């Protein structure tokens, strides 16, 4: 029983979700059926959402489910509708494609590892950050304020010049919003019924 008490359950759960995410990510790569690929992708992304929840970032976790998992759903629908010439289409990947993918993916992974293990804060665990209690996880308010132009995480920045630079993400947020609106209107324009054109031709 002392053994059970000594286990850091937070780490165990982290390992579980991380393992799930990695296994299903590999399954995406090695699967040949489009729909199964999308399904494994959903599971992998959902495991990542579990990691966020475990870290106490509930807002980011819910965002992960809403945007990535929900987005994959749309991807699945269009993947089936646009690519399926027959039922249960399978994709064969040729050897040069494997080589190219391995090269690109490997180099990106190398950069990621370099960044992850190069940051000293991330390699050494701090004693006070091993568990996150529910009451402390106020993730949504700082993010919302940051999007509105008030960065609460840089309140204690002593350097005035740096502080002026860290003034929030309102502009980026607005640009992204307008961009999405344009995409929405554009999609509606492209997908509209072209009745007038047909009448013109006939």
Partner 1 sequence: MVEGINNFLGWEPDAWVGFVLTALIQVMILNVVLAGGALVFIWMERKISGRIQDRLGPTRVGGKFGWLQTLADGLKLLTKEDITPGEADPSLFKLAPYISLTASFATLLALPFANGWVGQEVNVALFFILAVLGLEVFGVILAGYASGSKWSLFGGMREAAQVVSYEVPVGLCAVIPVMICGTMNLVTIGNMQAGFFTNWLIFHDPFTFVVFWVYFTCAIASVNRAPFDLAEAESELVAGFHTEYSGLRWSLFFMAEYGSMFVVSGLASILFFGGWNGPIPVTHILSSVDANTLGWGDGSWAPFWTYLANAIGCINFILKAVLGVTVMIWVRWTLPRLRIDQVITTCWKYCVPLAAICFVGVMAWQAFQIPSGNDLPLPYQPIRAEVRETWAESTSSIGNAEQPTAEPADQVASVIIGEGV
Where does this chain bind partner 1 (CB under 8 A)?
A: 4-5, 9, 33, 35-36, 39, 42, 58-59, 61-63, 65-66, 69-70, 73-74, 76-77, 80-81, 87-88, 134, 137-142, 145, 149-150, 152, 155, 160, 163-164, 167
Q: Closest distance between partner 1 and the C-beta of residue 70, in Å?
A: 5
Is residue 18 a contact partner of residue 51, using CB atoms and an 8 Å limit?
A: yes
* Cα distance between residue 26 and residue 186, in whole Å: 35
Nearer to partner 1, 18 or 62 (CB): 62
* Cα distance between residue 193 and residue 51, in whole Å: 44
* Cα distance between residue 62 and residue 119, in whole Å: 27
Beta bridge partners of 90: 33
Q: Closest distance between partner 1 and the C-beta of residue 103, in Å?
A: 32
Q: Closest distance between partner 1 and the C-beta of residue 48, in Å?
A: 14
Nearer to partner 1, 4 or 95 (CB): 4
Nearer to partner 1, 116 or 141 (CB): 141
Q: Closest distance between partner 1 and the C-beta of residue 2, in Å?
A: 11
Dihedral-angle region of residue 126 (phi above 0 means left; psi in -120 to 50 means alpha; beta otherwise): beta
The sign of the dihedral angle between the CA atoms of 15, 17, 19, 21 is negative
Nearer to partner 1, 78 or 110 (CB): 78
């Amino acid at each position: 029983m002392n053994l059970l008490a000594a286990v850091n359950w937070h780490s165990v759960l982290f390992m579980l979700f991380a393992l799930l995410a990695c296994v299903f990510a590999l399954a995406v790569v090695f699967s040949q059926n489009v729909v199964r690929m999308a399904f494994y992708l959903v599971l992998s992304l959902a495991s990542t959402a579990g990691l966020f929840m475990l870290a106490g970032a509930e807002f980011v976790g819910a965002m992960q489910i809403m945007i990535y998992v929900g987005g994959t759903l749309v991807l699945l629908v269009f993947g089936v509708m646009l690519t399926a010439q027959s039922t249960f289409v399978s994709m064969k990947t040729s050897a040069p494609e494997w080589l190219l993918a391995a090269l690109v993916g490997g180099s990106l992974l190398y950069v990621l590892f370099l960044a992850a293990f190069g940051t000293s804060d991330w390699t050494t665990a701090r004693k006070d950050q091993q568990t996150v209690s529910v009451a402390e996880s106020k993730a949504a308010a700082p993010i919302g304020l940051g999007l509105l132009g008030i960065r609460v995480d840089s309140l204690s920045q002593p350097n005035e010049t740096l502080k002026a630079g860290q003034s929030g993400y309102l502009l980026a947020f607005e640009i992204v919003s307008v961009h999405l609106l344009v995409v929405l209107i554009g999609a509606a324009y492209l997908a509209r019924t072209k009745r007038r054109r047909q009448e013109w031709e006939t």
